[in-house]
Amino acid sequence: MLSYPSIDPILFQIGPLAIRWYSLSYLAGICIGWWLLRRRAASWTRVEVIDDIIFYIVLGIVIGGRLGSVLFYQSEALWADPLMVLRVWEGGMSFHGGFAGVIVALWWGVRKHQLSFIQLADQVALVTPIGLGLGRLANFINGELWGRPTDAWYGMVFPHVDALARHPSQLYQAFLEGLVLFVALNVYARWRPPAFALSGAFVLGYGCFRFLVEFVREPDRHLSFILSDWVTMGQILSLPMIAAGLAMMVWAYRR
């Protein structure tokens, strides 16, 4: 078995100001995605438009991710303490909530700058896996979102959890949702698929990868299993994404 390396989640601290790997992962993902979108902007819009839309996307990620986390995974605690939604420093971000927030951000950017929603969504889909992969690596550094017990040789002991060897599911997700999805989408883009197919491929790919990893990921601390003893909230939320991704790709090719 492997042993969790116990990396300090704080990169450095100056007085009360602490710079955490988790926040840097968000910043790095946004900056890299911003840079890539600016490089490709000449073929479909102005660079200044990208700068403005990135601002809305950041708001969508933070607000949607936080709201999704408390609504999907901490709804009972939210009723008891509604102000908890504002305490972002306590942690808790949901991909599915952030995804919804980004959709709203893209819609707002499209209305403001008179762009094509489909074209903008395809461009954003190509760079999004970068942030997802970095975020999962930050989850690993934080020692959170660990996997279920396993007797495989690559099982990892998280001492702050218990003495059991567990799946390092954060690394599985970083590899699949980050590296594999990024490479697959950018290779697919070279085949010049029809408009909206890239967005559909992203939604389908993430939904499938998340659904599969949930089989070895420990359910979030706020929840037990949703159905029987194996269906999790992450899988329930991923099923509509899988269906939507398939529908988007079929529509794109038929169109």
| Helix, strand, coil share (%) of the chain residues, nearest 5 | 65, 10, 25
Q: How far apart are CA 142 and CA 112, in angstroms?
A: 38
C-beta neighbour count of 39 within 10 angstroms = 11
DSSP label at 222?
T
The pLDDT, as a whole number, for residue 46 is: 83
Q: What is the pLDDT of residue 189?
A: 96
Q: What pLDDT was estimated at residue 211?
A: 95
Q: What is the pLDDT of residue 80?
A: 72
Residues 6 or more apart from 187 whose CB is under 8 A from it? none
Res 198: pLDDT: 97
What gap in Å lies between CA 230 and CA 227, rounded to an integer? 7
Model pLDDT, residue 86: 67
Low-confidence ranges of the chain (pLDDT < 50): none
Which pLDDT does position 227 carry in this prediction?
54
* Alpha-helix residue ranges (DSSP H) falling in 74-180: 75-80, 95-113, 117-142, 169-173
pTM for this structure?
0.89
pLDDT of residue 15: 82
